[in-house]
Amino acid sequence: MSVNGPDEVGLALVIGAGGGLGAALVAGLRQPGAPAQAAPAVLALGRHTTPVLDYADEATLAGAAQWVADEIDARRMPLRTLIVASGYLHGVIPGQPGDRPAQPERSGSQIDPAYLAHCFKVNAIGPALVVKHFFPLLARSGPCVAGFISAKVGSIGDNALGGWYGYRASKAALNQIVRTAAIELVRRNRRAVCVALHPGTVDTPLSQPFAKAGLTVRSASVAARELLAVLHGLTPAQSGGFFDYRGQALPW
């Protein structure tokens, strides 16, 4: 998406803005000369913002979407960029007895319904609710991008290592949701782009327990800059695809 004329000025929204990558994406969007707009036009939502957005409670998505609708009206700018940067791989599952941090499965013997359900809630169902509540707010004409941060391990075609059942399966589900939403979105705005994005390995709380020698780990700010360049460089013909941080298409 290239933002050229005054008729194409718009708001950007990052959901999952409190995460390592989410915060870096907000900062990247706010930099002067970024592909989207300047500081006041970047909105950030998450579990620690006002209003709150928590996938555990759909009412918070409805309330946050109303806030964004009010911002669109007040600023007289359409919503042109939506990025969903939330995700779950490991950690405490709210409401689970003992509050023991859960970890991804190394083998099928470790499959745990509560961990699987939480992966699906944060990685797939939450983003699906974003489609439900926020896609109606996206610009109806002119350039418009929706990027969902997925993960290459969600690729079924690329799965050669096994393990991580819940994370892999929930990201594969996310990819299907993104593909489906892209088909619907283009009927609303023929210039819209809706894609799943793989950020590579990024230094955030999500990846830290799995950092190992030989793995290329990039900072969140570098990853955010690369992802924004990819996202805003895509054309409507590429909508519905799955791309990595270098812009390379990934297999489903």
Pull the structure tokens for residue 225. 């800059």
- Cα 88 to Cα 192: distance, rounded to the nearest angstrom: 27
Cβ distance to ligand NAP smaller for residue 19 or 236: 19
Helices 58-75 and 126-134: crossing angle in degrees, nearest 10, is 40
- For 59-96, the DSSP string reads HHHHHHHHHHHHHHHHHT--EEEEEE----SSBPPTT-
Residue 48 CB, nearest approach to ligand NAP (Å) = 5
145 vs 248: CA distance, rounded Å: 17
Amino acid identity, residue 144? C
Positions in the binding site for ligand NAP (CB under 6 A) = 16, 18-22, 46-48, 53-56, 85-88, 122, 126, 149, 151, 199, 201-202, 204-207
CB of 11 to ligand NAP, least distance (A): 19
Q: In terms of CB distance, is 20 or 35 closer to ligand NAP?
A: 20
Residue closer to ligand NAP (CB basis): 162 or 205 = 205
Is 122 or 195 the residue whose CB approaches ligand NAP more closely?
122
